[in-house]
């Protein structure tokens, strides 16, 4: 395996009842984000998850939508955020990516919620497409695996159902 390959992941496993997942999707690059969502759904199927999907206008809106969802305690066991920001010719990319990442991390640490973060921050659309294909490089599947692991930790510590 080269350093550019993603690790081979097996089937997702989670003890306890099937989880309830909210996916917050920013489909500005619809084909890319839909590809990531397909990868995530495959992982969620492994644990028989119930999945709700809500679309937001863009990546910048992901933290605010997550904050709203967190005001509904007990409705979901975990949250998956999916989006894509492609670098342009201005500093806008840097400001948007920083705001999204800091907003999500702040909510994550303050709420102790199980969150999978699938935001692609890429230089080109071709890079995003390569990370949203139906193969082991799919970053939606990778973020879904991370989310299932976080739900497992929360359950193991008695923090979630």
So where are the chain's domains?
20-156
Q: Would you tell me which CATH number, out of the four given (1.20.210.10, 3.40.50.960, 3.40.1190.10, 3.20.20.150), belongs to the domain 20-156?
A: 3.40.50.960
Helix axis angle for 30-46 and 139-156, nearest 10°, is 40
Question: Can you say which residues are annotated as belonging to the binding site?
Answer: 28, 59-61, 84-86, 89-90, 117, 131
| Beta carbons of 62 and 102 less than 8 angstroms apart | no
- 92 catalytically annotated: yes
Among candidate residues 11, 92, 110, 136, the one labeled active-site is 92
pTM of the entire predicted model: 0.93
Average pLDDT over the chain, rounded to an integer:
94
Q: In whole angstroms, give the CA distance from residue 12 to residue 38.
A: 15
Q: What is the mean pLDDT of residues 66-81?
A: 97
Question: Can you say which residues are annotated as belonging to the binding site for 5-amino-6-(D-ribitylamino)uracil?
Answer: 28, 59-61, 84-86, 117
Q: What is the pLDDT of residue 7?
A: 67
**pLDDT band (50, 70, 90) for residue 1:** very low
């Amino acid at each position: 395996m080269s350093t550019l390959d993603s690790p081979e992941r097996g089937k997702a496993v989670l003890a306890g009842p099937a989880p309830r997942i909210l996916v917050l999707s920013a489909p500005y690059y619809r084909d890319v984000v839909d590809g990531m969502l397909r990868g995530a759904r495959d992982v969620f199927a492994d644990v028989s998850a119930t999945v709700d999907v809500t679309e937001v206008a863009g990546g910048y809106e992901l933290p605010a939508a997550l904050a709203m969802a967190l005001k509904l305690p007990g409705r979901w066991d975990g949250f998956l955020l999916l989006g894509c920001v492609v670098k342009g010719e201005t500093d806008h990319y840097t400001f948007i990516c920083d705001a999204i990442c800091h907003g999500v991390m702040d909510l994550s640490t303050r709420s102790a919620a199980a969150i999978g973060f699938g935001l692609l921050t890429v230089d080109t659309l071709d890079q995003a497409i390569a990370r949203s294909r139906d193969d082991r490089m799919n970053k939606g599947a990778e973020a879904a695996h991370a989310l299932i692991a976080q739900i497992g930790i929360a359950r193991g510590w008695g923090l979630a159902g």
